[in-house]
Amino acid sequence: MTVTRRSVLLASAAAPAAGALLGTPSAQAAADAVRASGRRTVALRDGWRFALADPGGITDPTGQYADAAAPGYDDSTWRAVAVPHDWSIEQTPTTQNGTTSGTGFFPGGLGWYRLAFTLPPGHAGRRISVEFDGVYMDSYVYCNGTEVGHHPYGYTGFAFDLTDLLHTDGRTENVIAVKVQNRLPSSRWYSGSGIYREARLVVTEPVHVDRWGTYVTTPEVSDERAVVRVATTVANASGASADVEVVSRVLAPNGRTVARTSSTVAVADLATQTQELTVTDPQRWDFATPRRYTLETELRVAGRVTDTYSTSFGIRTFRFDPDEGFHLNGSHAKIKGVDLHHDLGALGAAISVDAVRRQMTIMKSMGVNAFRTSHNPPSPEMIRICEELGIVMLVEAFDCWKTGKTRYDYGRFFDEWCERDATEMVLAARNSPAVLLWSIGNEITDSTSTAGLAMADRIITAIRAADDTRPLIIGSDKYRTPPAKGSAADLMLAKLDGLGLNYNTAKSVDVLHTTYPHLFLFESESSSETSTRGTYQEPEHLNTGENHTPGRRATSSYDNNLASWTMSGEYGHKKDRDRKWFTGQFLWSGIDYIGEPTPYNVFPVKASFFGAVDTAGFPKDMYHLFRSQWVDEPMVHLLPTTWNHEAGDTVEVWAYSNVDTVELYLNGKSLGVRKFDTKKTVDGRSYLETTEATGDDRTFTTGPYPGSYTSPNGSAGKLHLTWRVP
């Protein structure tokens, strides 16, 4: 069979790729199969043509792309690309055209995509829509020359109905064109540009399950039984009211049917049917056993199946309590989380299931059990992989509201789009057992203003209309001290269930806990220290380990190179550890990312230094510090890892470990035994720590956090063992 970009057979197996030729002997049989079986999805990965019309702006200086959406436009000189695609990562970094160090100096600009295909006659009378999981950003979609929609936000999905514009004679080409405008600066970090997430065509009968049309909750869960509540939204585009039988089956993790029910609803245009099923002896979704069930939904009209729709979900309970902390399935647990931006290092922003799975598997090996989607809704692939690995998620909506942080960011679109984007975020993720929290934003400038209170209300109302089963929080750097009573910052907290704190001291955490007893508290960003794998300088001094020599820029890995707003990794662990009621922390950041190259905000430095793991996936020493506090499997890690010392040098050797006794050897000779003391928190939980002054919350001498951390039990100490080796 010859495959070209000019044809696509939508009647192939579920989720086929575009590009199979029509006209084969099986074409008509396949079209008949579509008519009989209802829904089909076709991944739009191959066959796209791409042109970067303007890498320096969003204009068309020559006018050659004025008709790029027209079906007859000649795109033969455009590049052939596969989607997902990120054109920014293909460009040469530059200081021109609005690029910044925060975005890694990569250009954005104006890009065009085109995809041509034919549809067999069997698709006449069916509903056909195009779905995009994410296009960065400000995209316009055209079908056969007609604009069908506009979507500004680069991090939420969207869909457009193409039915009335498509040719279904099997001969006439259809053309989908997408114009993408990434005018810089549009972000504080590397965003990528283009159709960087998956796209697909969805073909259904007129009577079908609506997009994101199932909502699965488990309002009652015990060891003996779980009540599964299903709300199914049925769409009817036939023009005539229909009695639709909704058949729901629950499949256990092994694929066996464990519950079934059916009921009938009259649908004129759109209607929602709610059903309840009972699953006996439910298998819980948990950190170590992330078991998932499947809801199979079948629609029937006059006995004929018009649609089948699958929804993955999990059975679990959770709660966030201001005084008791976090519990999953009845067991207390600390949030051991990381913040991650969405890029994949040298691969750019284009989504890759394998690359995402590798990243999250590395995080899991560090002991991570939670992920904050900093600072935007995640891809469906990320949600699915967190489900598979047993990693809970804090899903975040925005990095800004109306007041932007860069000139061309989402602030331009907030007023018109915030409810729609918040709703889309929730609909795309609400059935996932991994998703536990919704965040209305990160470090939002408007959040402490009177105008911001109304903005928050709009977002909160939209989220709660789509899902009322999860707490709402904000991640904030605005609450280092409690705000004045009655101020906008104070009133904002009355709207929320929890508060994510970015870089607060232990003292400020305690004050906030007393001042706002209705809120559960956690660190939405902790540490934020910088390090370079294999670089070590002056462990006893703060921020002396920065090499600013061009070509040799690197920062020390002794947990002592801090940004001006933060504390060490050890400090963050102790602050979290000592307070059972404190929900946990999200490390900034789990993995280095493109952009924000603190402390080197100069060209050509393109990547951050904040991660516990570098962009290639290699762990730094910070990874082992966190692992020593987050995993139970015995481990020990020594640093420095360099072997370039000369005779007479004195080397300070550290050991991160979760066992109480470590003996160091050099060439077979013991250099001594070091031990942690076993201590107890004020509520009786055991931990390992040395007993000595720390000074580990120091920042710059002008910073706000001088001093040495002491636990509520009166003890101070370090989370590493030390030898000085001559």
CATH of the domain at 297: 2.60.40.10
Using 50, 70 and 90 to split pLDDT, how confident is the model at 545?
A: low
Q: Is residue 37 part of a domain?
A: yes
Q: Is residue 329 part of a domain?
A: yes
For the cut 50, the answer to whether the pLDDT of residue 23 exceeds it is: no
Q: Is residue 425 part of a domain?
A: yes
For the cut 80, the answer to whether the pLDDT of residue 1 exceeds it is: no
As a whole-number percent, the residues of the chain with pLDDT over 90 amount to 84
Q: Rounded to a whole number, what is the largest CA-CA distance in the chain?
A: 90
How high is the pLDDT of residue 445?
98
pLDDT tens, position by position, 167-206 = 999 999 999 999 999 999 999 999 999 999 999 999 999 9
Same domain, 105 and 42: yes
Same domain, 74 and 139: yes
Residue ranges in 52-209 assigned as alpha helix (H): none
Same domain, 460 and 571: yes
pLDDT tens, position by position, 131-171 = 999 999 999 999 999 999 999 999 999 999 999 999 999 99
Same domain, 370 and 276: no
As a whole-number percent, the residues of the chain with pLDDT over 70 amount to 92
Q: Is residue 579 part of a domain?
A: yes
The CATH number given to whatever domain includes residue 67 is 2.60.120.260
* Enclosing domain of residue 331: 318-639
**Domains: count for the chain:** 4
pLDDT tens, position by position, 43-70 = 999 999 999 999 989 999 899 999 999 9
Q: Which amino acid is at 481?
A: T
For the cut 80, the answer to whether the pLDDT of residue 13 exceeds it is: no
Using 50, 70 and 90 to split pLDDT, how confident is the model at 74?
A: very high
Q: Is residue 646 part of a domain?
A: no
As a whole number, mean pLDDT of residues 496-508 equals 95
Neighbour count for residue 270 (Cβ, 10 Å): 12
Which sign does the torsion angle of CA 592, 595, 597, 603 carry? Answer: positive
Residue in the structure block whose two tokens are 């695609």:
85
Same domain, 307 and 355: no
Same domain, 468 and 591: yes
Q: Is residue 644 part of a domain?
A: no
Return the active site residues: 443, 525
pLDDT tens, position by position, 608-617 = 999 999 999 9
How high is the pLDDT of residue 560?
83
As a whole number, mean pLDDT of residues 97-114 equals 96
What pTM, to 2 d.p., does this model score? 0.92
How high is the pLDDT of residue 7?
36
Give the β-pairing of 584-588 and 335-340: parallel
Domain boundary residue among 179, 204, 229?
Answer: 204
Supply the DSSP symbol for 676.
Answer: P
Same domain, 460 and 393: yes
Same domain, 481 and 361: yes
Same domain, 215 and 199: no
Please enumerate in sequence order all residues whose Cβ is within 8 A of that of 233, keeping only pairs 6 or more positions apart, or say none. Answer: 209, 210, 213, 214, 215, 270, 271, 272
Neighbour count for residue 398 (Cβ, 10 Å): 25
Which sign does the torsion angle of CA 187, 189, 194, 199 carry? Answer: negative
User: Left (φ > 0), alpha (ψ -120 to 50) or beta: where does 340 sit?
Assistant: beta
User: Left (φ > 0), alpha (ψ -120 to 50) or beta: where does 558 sit?
Assistant: alpha
Please enumerate in sequence order all residues whose Cβ is within 8 A of that of 71, keeping only pairs 6 or more positions apart, or say none. Answer: 116, 144, 145, 173, 174, 175
CA nearest to 427, candidates 169, 155, 214, 596: 214
Same domain, 477 and 611: yes
CA nearest to 397, candidates 369, 363, 432, 427: 427
**Secondary-structure breakdown of the chain: helix, strand, coil percentages, each rounded to the nearest 5:** 15, 35, 50
Same domain, 422 and 480: yes
How high is the pLDDT of residue 544?
66
Interior angle at CA 608, CA 382 and CA 704, nearest 5? 110
Q: Is residue 34 part of a domain?
A: yes
As a whole number, mean pLDDT of residues 480-496 equals 97
Using 50, 70 and 90 to split pLDDT, how confident is the model at 14?
A: very low
Domain boundary residue among 261, 285, 313?
Answer: 313
Q: Is residue 704 part of a domain?
A: yes
The CATH number given to whatever domain includes residue 477 is 3.20.20.80
Structure tokens at 526: 């902790």
Same domain, 669 and 586: no
Classify 611 as helix, strand or coil: coil
β-sheet with 318-321: strand ranges across: 318-321, 325-328, 331-333
Q: How far apart are CA 430 and CA 426, in angstroms?
A: 5
Domain boundary residue among 244, 279, 313?
Answer: 313
